[in-house]
A = this chain, B = another copy of it.
Amino acid sequence: MARTTIKDVSERAGVSVGTVSNVLNAPHRVAPDTRERVLQVVSELGYRPNRTARGLQARRTYLIGYLLPARELNVNTALDSFLHELVSTASPHGLEVVLFAPQPGQTELEGYRDLIRRGGVDGFVLSETNYDDPRIALLAGVGFPFVSFGRSLARDPFAWVDVDGATGIGDAVRHLLGAGHRRIALVAWPEGSESGDDRVAGYRRALTRAGVTPDPRLEVRCLNGVDQGKEAWRRLSLLDSPPTAVVAVQDQLAIGVLLEAQSMALQLGVDLAVTGFDDTPAGALLGLSSVRQPLRDVCRLLVEHLVHRIEDPWADPGHDLVRPELVIRSSSGADVINSPRPWARSELHRYRRRHRR
């Protein structure tokens, strides 16, 4: 029950506690034979310095805070893998990840502020950062170490890592262009989100560079969600000349498009190609091609930047933009899994005849 302390070690090794501490933190200062003896006792007793005591003296906690984003507007569908990577990349730096949520009746910002005041963490990792995120103003304002997964238009310089969504979507577009598609639609979130607008820009740029003029009628805007994706495809399918491919800025939207198209008896990868973003398990299940965020790299960089901020809060904050990877599956024609259905096209025609005003 009683934990073994540095004092136990020092007594047993016949040295002072200062010496034991030196053996552990500055071995070069202590004579080789003393060092050996102390290390021997340390391993016999299985001694590990107490984090709390060490933290009190060093004014550190060896913890980094991550506020769990509210469940409802959960765009970050990859929370699971994100946390995994974050925790395992933080670990070698002697850091652990503390999850927290605002107390009931507290705003998110108050949650951050409270944790700072209580001296609860050494720094924060933010995610789902958006334009002019108030958290950045708060943290940069008080000079508290943090790093953001996602860029932001903020006056203060700050450390961030982001996925190059524009290039990712561009890769999807180029993949579809390469497969012969020319009428490539976009299903995107409403204007005003950092990552959303970035992806839209990538779509337009890729088309333009390939000599295809982006057609505004092929750009549908809606909130995230499977149902919204279905609705989006319904609207696209009623156009004079419907698209042959759809690029969605998120898997859920893509899944909606895909399901709705299937229910119109369209053959995915043949009649219609679809791509998503985030490479979610649900999407993978349905054979959805998707842009995968390299979360391992992202987390490695996040932790590196954060460690720098903690160690030297005065240095210039750095940042990184990492390139995602397009995972090609059957939804964009990789290898067709379902058997062809010759009546698919006529189904689409029937649907359109019924619904066009």
Contacts and interface: CB of A to CB of B under 8 A. Distances in A.
A92 B104 contact: yes
Contacts of A281: 77, 282
A339 to B, nearest CB: 9
A208 interface: no
Contacts of A221: none
Contacts of A14: none
Nearest to A50: B119
Interface string A34-45: 000000000000
Contacts of A1: 143
Contacts of A114: 48
A107 to B, nearest CB: 14
Nearest to A103: B91
B97 A84 contact: no
Interface string A129-151: 00000000000000100000000
Given A48-B118, A118-B48, A118-B49, A87 B104 contact: no
A117 interface: yes
Contacts of A88: 101
A52 B55 contact: yes
Interface residues of A, number: 50
Interface string A1-15: 101100000000000
B68 A61 contact: no
Contacts of A91: 100-101, 103
Given A68-B87, A96-B100, A263-B338, A117 B3 contact: yes
A114 B91 CA distance: 13
Given A51-B119, A83-B99, 5 more contacts: A4-B117, A48-B118, A63-B63, A96-B99, A281-B282
Interface of A: 1, 3-4, 46-53, 55-56, 61, 63, 68, 71, 74, 77, 79-81, 83-84, 87-88, 91-92, 96-101, 103-104, 114, 117-120, 143, 226, 255, 259, 263, 281-282, 285, 338
11 contacts: A51-B118, A68-B84, A71-B81, A77-B281, A79-B80, A87-B99, A91-B101, A96-B120, A98-B98, A99-B99, A282-B285
